[in-house]
Amino acid sequence: MTVKLNGAALTFARKLVSNGKVVRDERDAWSEDAPSTDEQNDFLQNEGWGAYSRWHLGIDTDKPAHTKGRYSFPFGDFSRVHRCAVISLESRAAQNDHDEIATASKNLLKLIDS
């Protein structure tokens, strides 16, 4: 698995935060706030893979295009960045040695908290 930082998604996330499109929720809220499979599928059908990819800081270029498996480390609910998602993905990225993603998410969290 070759998961790399999705730079376009990071830029998109920063812009959302700068525009106030952020939920400053608690650490453990992501399990409840994360989009369901049905919500993901609806978003994909309505917005397409390009839009879907912008909501994920990780991209695995070894996985086929136009598959959910290609994208990892989601940071929001398709309308806003969630602080709890960024905390969760930073922890998972660090545990799995995705240092670039862990660092990017840590910096995104600082932006959210500023």
Residues of the domain holding 58 = 3-113
Look at the chain and report how many structural domains it folds into.
1
Q: In whole angstroms, give the CA distance from residue 54 to residue 52.
A: 5
CB 87 within 8 A of CB 109: yes
Q: How many residues does the chain have?
A: 114
CA 78 – CA 112 distance, rounded (Å): 17
Taking residues 107-112, report their average pLDDT: 96
What pLDDT, in 10s, does the model give residues 1-57?
689 999 999 999 999 999 999 999 877 778 788 899 999 999 999 999 999 999 999
Q: Tell me the whole-structure pTM to 2 decimals.
A: 0.92
73-106: pLDDT as tens digits: 999 999 999 999 999 999 999 999 999 999 999 9
